[in-house]
């Protein structure tokens, strides 16, 4: 059985987890889940980096021991990953004994190779980055690349002969063109190494929070020697040969672009020195900004990972992060974009497809699926071809870590299936009594949906599970990619049950509200209702009850009303609709009502219209009014007996 070993960086415990930490871990988790579906033996590693000057200083600042700080913050990362449904096989902590033993063993090997010597370090160091910098990389007291403060260091230090490995490293980059990805990052690394490598200081004597230098305990090992070793200590290096031989070398080290030098230069050099195999690939992803702004401590605008996890459904968050930017590029986190992607791509496209298809099968076929027939119909053939192509494309994209293309492809196929439903019109086939065509059309849609559920399970695990449960496919094997090697696996006689709503729509929120607030940022708005019966009542101007049901009317309590400057017809209202936050409504009723007449009234509002901007104000609902003969408006009103937010039916 082939194996797949994927790692995330281990996270510093000097602070709380933010979106960057969640992102890398979610991407790695999607890769791991997908490879498990291939039937491979997968090992997903994540954890925390707990030693070093940065952690020691933060602990001093807080007046606690570094170990205490590590305990508290490591637990937060663990809790976060549980909340995010991360399927890691080990959560490593660098304060664990087996890890510390492996670090010692690693350095002993580097010593035995004659690659370590004692000297004196004189130069710049940044505790924030835990990195040494050349004078050419410093300006105005900060490292140019990271803007982190640097300090001058002069002390006795052990050095690693990094210079000796410049040529072997270049040979490796050359022989294995994919060992650093994306290609632009590879080029960056190559030109850095071609510029010449200086030996690397790997120990310090001025602080103590770390693993001691073997044979010279007044030196503590440089935190990156310690941290990088986690990738091998976690899988039994120097202790459990069987596990180590099975899993090492890692297939992918997934990292952020800021820590590329450590992974693509230092780490392979350490491994060469210790006589160990080199990783398959180091993939550097980009950085997220928050609504267009770089996240930083000074701005205080880090997007808290727990707030994210609380504010959005996990599938939606995963989908947005994976879909929004190509892995490797920088991305901008925008709540508005997330809501848009959820509402139009997940809810309207995939959610609607699943709901309507299951509902139609219920209605027209009594919930039972006919058998697969490889019909001659061109539309059917098109769906079969697309299903096969989707599976092949997703596989290729996942091999290349192109997660954004994989999800895009899946949603594209969902769009094709929606179109197929429009074209085949199952409701018409049912009316006409064309049962054979009806059964074939619904089979093709549902089998297509099964393809999406299986192929999408790494990205949208919850939705995928709901869909597969709707088919009664709950065994772990039902997730294997081998089940989508062929179109037509859904068995005749399969009884369907309507899946729970897959994706609730979110309200679009005004831009100013930049950071997601727990449980407020995104409130589910409307559910995807099963497709309305499309009988042709249009001519008579009649609509189905289902269509009426799509309009959400609620009782809104007007809490505040004020004039809109420069618009004499408009009033700006704040209304309580029984939600966590008040909604803003811009209404053209100023000629009929003074603001103070409105406050405290309970009136009818349409609450699931697309928000619209009026005079720069985002209006999030519409107030219902009728006009008298002389042009005055009156509102549909309720007494205090009706609670704000009550649905009007
Ligand atoms: N402890 C080291 C890694 C050691 S791995 C052997 C470290 N830790 S970190 O907590 O500072 O950063 C962890 C990861 O978060 C890095 O990959 C970094 O790129 C990533 N991110 C930090 N800020 C980020 C964004 N704004 N956006 C995306 N990822 C970001 O470095």
pLDDT, tens digit, for every residue of 77-128? 999 999 999 999 999 999 999 999 999 999 999 999 999 999 999 999 999 9
Pocket test for ligand 1, best of 6, 18, 20 (most atoms within 8 A of CB): 20
47 Cα to the center of ligand 1, angstroms:
12
In three-state secondary structure terms, 298 is coil
| Ligand 1 and 228: CB distance under 6 A | yes
* Among 206-215, 289-298, 417-426, 554-563, the least confident range: 289-298
Nearest-atom index, ligand 1, CA of 302: 26
Please work out whether the CB of residue 522 comes within 6 Å of at least one atom of ligand 1: no
Distance CA 649, CA 637 (A): 14
pLDDT at 54 over 50: yes
Q: Which atom of ligand 1 is nearest to the CA of 255?
A: 17
Of 254, 197, 217, the residue nearest 107 (C-alpha): 217
Show Cβ contacts of residue 31 under 8 Å, excluding neighbours closer than 6 positions: 4, 6, 252, 254, 398, 401, 403, 458
Inform me whether the pLDDT recorded for 414 exceeds 50: yes
What's the start-to-end Cα distance of the chain, in Å? 58
Cis peptide before 397 (omega within 30 of 0): no
Residue 256's beta-bridge partner residues? Answer: 285
Does the structure show a pLDDT above 80 at 510? no
User: What CATH number was assigned to the domain covering residues 537-638?
Assistant: 2.40.50.140
The alpha carbon of 404 and the centre of ligand 1 are apart by a number of angstroms equal to 20
The whole-angstrom separation of Cα 290 and Cα 621 is 27
**Interhelix angle 314-324/461-470, nearest 10 degrees:** 120
Residues 6 or more apart whose Cβ sits within 8 Å of residue 243: 235, 236
pLDDT in tens, 442-465: 999 999 999 999 999 999 999 999
- For the chain, residues classed under CATH 2.40.50.140 are 537-638
Enumerate residues 6+ apart whose C-beta is below 8 A from 533: 363, 427, 544, 546
With the most atoms of ligand 1 within 8 angstroms of its CB, the residue from 9, 92, 127, 296 to mutate is 9
What's the pLDDT at 542? 76
Q: Which of 218-232, 235-249, 412-426, 554-568 shows the lowest mean pLDDT across its residues?
A: 554-568
Tell which atom from ligand 1 comes closest to the C-alpha of 11: 10
Tell me the CA–centroid distance for residue 77 and ligand 1, in Å: 13
Closest to 51 in 3D by CA, of 201, 156, 276, 204: 204
Query: Rounded to the nearest whole angstrom, what is the distance from the C-alpha of residue 236 to the centroid of ligand 1?
Result: 24
Atom of ligand 1 nearest to the CA of 288: 27
The DSSP code for 328 is T
Q: What is the mean pLDDT of the chain?
A: 92
Average pLDDT over residues 398-420: 97
For residue 471, pLDDT beyond 60: yes
pLDDT at residue 384 in the model: 98
Residue range 519-525: average pLDDT?
44
| Confidence band, pLDDT 50/70/90 cuts, at residue 520 | very low
Fold of the domain spanning 334-484: Isoleucyl-tRNA Synthetase; Domain 1 (1.10.730)
Average pLDDT over residues 255-275: 98
Distances (CA, A) of 358 to 56, 124, 468: 57, 64, 12
- Report yes or no on whether pTM surpasses 0.75: yes
Q: What is the pLDDT of residues 118-167, one digit of tens each?
A: 999 999 999 999 999 999 999 999 999 989 999 999 999 999 999 999 99
Mean pLDDT for 577-591 is 88
- Measured CA to CA, the distance from residue 278 to residue 389 in angstroms comes to 34
Residues in the chain: 649
Residue with CA closest to ligand 1 atom 21: 20
When pLDDT is cut at 50, 70 and 90, the band that residue 48 belongs to is very high
Domain with CATH 1.10.730.10 in the chain: 334-484
Predicted local confidence at residue 523, as pLDDT: 43
C-alpha to C-alpha distances, 378 to 198, 373, 441, 581, nearest whole angstrom: 65, 13, 12, 51
Phi, psi angle pair for 47, to nearest 5°: 160, -160
Structure confidence at residue 540 (pLDDT):
57
pLDDT computed for residue 509 by the predictor? 55
Query: For the ranges 284-288, 323-327, 467-471, 629-633, which has the lowest average pLDDT?
Result: 629-633
Say how many C-beta atoms besides its own lie within 10 A of residue 80's C-beta: 22
**Exposure on the CB side of residue 564, measured as CA atoms within 13 A:** 23
Note whether 525 and 504 are within 8 A (CB).
Answer: yes
440: CB partners within 8 A, 6+ apart: 370, 373, 375, 377, 380
């Amino acid at each position: 059985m082939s194996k797949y070993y994927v790692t995330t960086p281990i996270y510093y415990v000097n602070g709380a987890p933010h979106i960057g930490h969640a992102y890398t871990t979610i991407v790695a988790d999607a890769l791991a889940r997908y490879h498990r579906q291939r039937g491979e033996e997968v090992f997903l590693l994540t954890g925390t980096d707990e030693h070093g000057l940065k952690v020691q200083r933060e602990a001093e600042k807080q007046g606690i021991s570094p170990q205490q700080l590590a305990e508290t913050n490591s637990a937060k990362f663990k809790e976060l990953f549980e909340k995010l449904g991360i399927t890691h096989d080990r959560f490593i902590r660098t304060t664990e004994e087996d890890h510390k033993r492996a670090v010692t063993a690693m350095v002993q090997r580097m010593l035995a190779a004659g690659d370590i010597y004692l000297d004196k370090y004189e130069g710049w160091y940044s505790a924030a980055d835990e990195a040494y910098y050349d004078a050419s990389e410093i300006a105005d007291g900060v490292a140019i690349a990271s803007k982190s403060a640097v300090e001058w260091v002069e002390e006795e230090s052990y050095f690693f002969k990094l210079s000796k490995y410049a040529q072997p490293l270049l040979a490796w980059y050359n022989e294995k063109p994919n060992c650093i990805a994306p290609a632009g990052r590879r080029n960056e690394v190559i030109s850095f190494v071609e510029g010449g490598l200086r030996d690397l200081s790997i120990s310090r004597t001025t602080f103590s929070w770390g693993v001691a230098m073997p044979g010279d305990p007044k030196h503590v090992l440089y935190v990156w020697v310690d941290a990088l070793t986690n990738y091998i200590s976690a899988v039994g290096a120097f202790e459990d040969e069987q596990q180590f031989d099975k899993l090492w070398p890692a297939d992918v080290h997934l990292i952020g672009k800021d820590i590329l030098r450590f992974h693509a230069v230092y780490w392979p050099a350490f491994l060469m020195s210790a006589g160990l195999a080199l990783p398959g690939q180091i993939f550097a992803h980009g950085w997220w900004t928050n609504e267009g702004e770089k996240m930083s401590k000074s701005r205080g605008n880090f997007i808290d990972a727990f707030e994210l996890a609380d504010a959005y459904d996990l599938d939606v968050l995963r989908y947005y992060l994976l879909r929004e930017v190509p892995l490797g590029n920088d991305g901008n986190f925008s709540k508005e974009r997330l809501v848009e992607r959820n509402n139009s791509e997940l809810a309207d496209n995939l959610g609607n497809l699943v709901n309507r298809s299951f509902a139609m099968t219920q209605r027209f076929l009594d919930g039972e699926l006919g058998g697969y027939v490889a019909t001659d119909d061109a539309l059917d053939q098109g769906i079969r071809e697309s299903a096969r192509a989707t599976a092949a494309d997703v596989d290729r994209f996942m091999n290349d870590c192109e997660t954004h293309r994989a999800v895009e492809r899946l949603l594209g196929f969902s769009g094709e299936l929606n179109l197929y439903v429009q074209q085949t019109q199952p409701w018409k086939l049912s009316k006409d009594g064309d049962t054979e065509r009806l059964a074939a059309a619904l089979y093709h849609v549902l089998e297509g949906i099964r393809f999406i559920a299986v192929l999408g399970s790494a990205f949208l695990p919850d939705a995928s599970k709901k869909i597969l449960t709707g088919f009664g496919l709950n065994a772990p094997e039902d997730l294997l990619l081998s089940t989508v090697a062929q179109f037509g696996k859904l068995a005749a006689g399969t009884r369907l049950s309507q899946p729970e709503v897959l994706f609730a729509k979110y309200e679009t929120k005004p831009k100013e509200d930049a950071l997601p607030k727990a449980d407020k940022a995104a409130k589910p708005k409307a559910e995807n209702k099963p497709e309305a019966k499309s009988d042709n009542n249009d001519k008579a101007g009649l609509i189905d009850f289902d269509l009426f049901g799509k309009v959400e009317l609620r009782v809104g309590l007007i809490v505040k009303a004020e004039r809109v400057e420069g618009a004499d017809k408009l009033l700006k209202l704040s209304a309580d609709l029984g939600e966590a936050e008040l909604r803003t409504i811009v209404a053209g009723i100023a000629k009929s009502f003074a603001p103070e007449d409105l406050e405290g009234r309970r009136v009818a509002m349409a609450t699931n219209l697309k928000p619209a901007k009026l005079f720069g104000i985002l209006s999030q609902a519409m107030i219902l009014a009728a006009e008298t003969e002389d042009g005055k408006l009156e509102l549909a009103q309720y007494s205090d007996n009706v609670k704000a937010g009550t649905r009007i039916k």
